[in-house]
Amino acid sequence: MLKMKWPRLIFLFAFGVVISACSYQAIEPSESQENLITHRTNQTNVDLNTITVSTKIELTKTPIPSTIILTSTAQTETLIPTPTSTPVYFSGAGDISICGQMGDDQTAAILLNWVGSGLYFSAGDSSNENGLIYEYQNCFGPSWGQLLPDLRVVPGNHDYYSDPMQNYWIYFDGVAGEPGQGWYSFEHGDWHIVMLNSNCGYVGCGPSSEQIAWLKQDLTLSKNQCSLAIWHHPRFNSGIAGNADWLYAFWDVLYEYGVDVVVNGHDHHYERMAKINPQGEPDRLIGIRSFIVGTGGASFYEIDQVQPFSEVRILNHFGIIQFELRTDSYQWKFINVDGEIMDQGSDTCSSSRREFDFMQK
């Protein structure tokens, strides 16, 4: 049975009337604006209303130039009501460990020493090598392995480079879903968290797949107003891997049921997208906001083809994203290994498409 949320429906109707005459379009920066929003400097601070971005290069003895690109100066949503419950925290990244490298130790230190509470997640490729039990135990284990049993994981493509039944699901027993499947859900505070498996060559991801059938049932049964989904390959992505178009069914279902946030890894950069529908069209009312956080410590990648709805891209920084989850709203912070908050913002949870359609009748 559909559970109506009348106060929020009334608000959405009023808000929809206000913006109904407005249409979104990407803002092409002028030459002077390009000097403002694209930076390759030793120290930069940008404050655009509720979007705050800063960077400082002090990562290694031979620093790699940092890049922060803002492609929209539109104000991030700040429609957060007076808090009525204690928030919970959910923090993590993807693409984490390579034996002999220190990036995963640095990001683990953020989670252990600076964030230090709540649950944690890996958005896939926890070991960014060959998916061997040795790599999980001896390279991932001393860093992010310290977060177990409070860590929740999804498989990435590297986790399938060796038989995951003998490696990935052995190491992550109890925190990775049913062996051989990799999709599961749980409650965290007032939020419903969905973990999916985007390795569609090994498990089905299409509209008639077992995973999609499970996802629809799971979201139908959920009574939570707010929800967040995590898997490895980004459906929308400005990085070198490009869009994972085969994951359209994930987005179709998540949008239909009003999921608020999607988090992915795979490409090794940080990116925040505007709220969009499954066709990649702006939808500030009930769209999904997605993040790519392939910054867990493995390596750095570059940007390829920028998506028109990409709002922030940060290159050459390891770091984690922290979500502060409340009853009907959330905040996010991307924190680099120097403890610097490089991107942050906030938003309220949206209605499901079904609720929104009912409101319009």
pLDDT tens figures, 279-305? 999 999 999 999 999 999 999 999 999
What integer pLDDT is reported at residue 110 of this predicted model? 96
Q: Average pLDDT, stretch 262-274? A: 97
What integer pLDDT is reported at residue 89 of this predicted model? 97
What integer pLDDT is reported at residue 69 of this predicted model? 64
User: Could you give the 3-state DSSP secondary structure of residue 157?
Assistant: coil
What integer pLDDT is reported at residue 23 of this predicted model? 36
- What's the rounded Cα separation, in Å, for the pair 57 and 66? 7
- Tens digit of each residue's pLDDT (9 = 90 or more) over 216-229: 999 999 999 999 99
- What's the rounded Cα separation, in Å, for the pair 211 and 118? 27
Q: Rounded to the nearest 10 degrees, what angle do helices 210-221 and 248-256 cross at? A: 20
Count CB atoms within 10 A of the CB of residue 214.
16
Angle 245-247-249 from CA coordinates, rounded to 5° = 120
Helix (H) or strand (E) holding 325: strand 319-325
CB-based contact 291:263 (threshold 8 Å): yes
Q: Residue 340 above 90 pLDDT?
A: yes
Q: Average pLDDT, stretch 295-317? A: 96
What integer pLDDT is reported at residue 114 of this predicted model? 82
For 243, which DSSP code? -
Helix (H) or strand (E) holding 250: helix 248-256
Q: Average pLDDT, stretch 15-41? A: 34
Sign of CA dihedral 338, 315, 264, 280: positive
Structure tokens belonging to residue 281? 């069209």
**Of 54-58, 247-251, 261-265, which range is least confident?**
54-58
Question: Confidence band (pLDDT; 50, 70, 90) for 328?
Answer: very high
> What are the distances in angstroms from CA 286 to CA 82, 171, 314, 349?
21, 38, 26, 8
Assigned CATH for 90-360 = 3.60.21.10
Q: Residue 2 above 90 pLDDT?
A: no
Mean pLDDT of the residues in the chain? 82
Q: Residue 27 above 50 pLDDT?
A: no
Count CB atoms within 10 A of the CB of residue 101.
14
Q: Residue 77 above 50 pLDDT?
A: no
Question: Confidence band (pLDDT; 50, 70, 90) for 354?
Answer: low
Q: Average pLDDT, stretch 124-144? A: 97
Question: Confidence band (pLDDT; 50, 70, 90) for 351?
Answer: confident
Please name the residue that has the structure tokens 């896939």: 124
